[in-house]
Structure 1
Amino acid sequence: MTEASAKRRGRRPAGEDTREAMLTAARELFGELGYEGATVRAIAQRAGVDAAMVNHWFGGKQGLFAQAVLQLPFDPVQLFGQVFEQGPVEELGERIVRTFLTRWDESGGGAFAALIRSVAGHEQVATALRTLFLENIFTRLADRVSVDRLPFRASLCAAQVVGMGMVRYVAKFEPMVSADREEIVAAVAPTLQRYLTGDIGHG
């Protein structure tokens, strides 16, 4: 066996460990640089694999992005059930804020940061963001509990939650970054509750 062939053989995918290493590296770099800034070569280098492995496992950069970033750390359908069904409507805003913060905090905010940093330059990400927050979560919630202006209420809720994530995980404004989760819940939940069930003026 030649040295070159041995080297190529050493770069072949080792299994799920290799795949997970690439996904981890991709989440980090997409989070740091956005979709356009994160190159396949840089992702592979951080993962310690040959760049050809990205094509082998994911079919290219777009496929890797879809796997690493768009597969967020929660199932929207499951999350909807969790926040809607596990308590009274009057506490819905509190459950929403606490649930999102808990899920994002557990993943270090990386997937959310990558999603937001990439949204401006990649239509697939913008579509995913709208589908996630508007169609799968807030439009469905508004349909269940709101009495008027459902699309506007859903958009207000999405803006509140996305903005909260932006400040905590992307822009990293203090003291939002280091604030206790329950402190943020107490401050933000009443606004979200008003967007869903309270007075938001007349259209």
Structure 2
Amino acid sequence: MTDSAELAPPATDRPRCGWAGNDPLYQRYHDDEWGVPLHGDRALFEKLSLEAFQSGLSWITILRRRDGFRDAFAGFEIDRVAAFDDRDVERLLGDAGIIRNGAKVEATIANARVLNEWTSAEPGALDALIWSFQPPARDRRPDSLSEIPAQTDESRALARALKDRGLRFVGPTTAYALMQSAGLVDDHVSGCWRAQAEFPAR
């Protein structure tokens, strides 16, 4: 992610989902990324890993450290993270640029090892699995944040499928957050400017 100081501030006259608040970094994430279809094993591994680190924290806490996470986890290149050893774990637990949670650090490395074996044999397999749980489009979009669920039947099924593959820290709430951020669902509320915008897949 480019340093926020190098980017033009987001437009202030746009109505947004309430969670975006007044933080320019959060607003930019809302405007440019959240809900935009995301594909690719590496990109989805990164997103899944960050959503797992977010568990119990606010997303802005993760977003402010995303560059640090990318540096610490070798750009979330699956094969490189899969090769991390005990020295890397020690390095990560001493890195103030990330969330230093031992269980989540070890789960990220373990997940990379599972995915490296799987996607080396089947490139695009993580992408295909995650997107196979995309639900049908809703008849109407939510009018308020209170109408947005924390988990759904599809996210529970996705979490089970990921766990069956051997992945960790992939509960149904984390799976639904992934579905929202990666564009499997569009939870921008009515009245948000993004609700009327069209964005290409990344």
Say yes or no: TM over 0.5.
no
Structure with the largest fraction of helix: 1
Structure with more relative contact order (C-alpha pairs < 8 Å, separation 6 or more): 2
TM-score, structure 1 normalization: 0.25
TM-score (ref. length: structure 2): 0.25
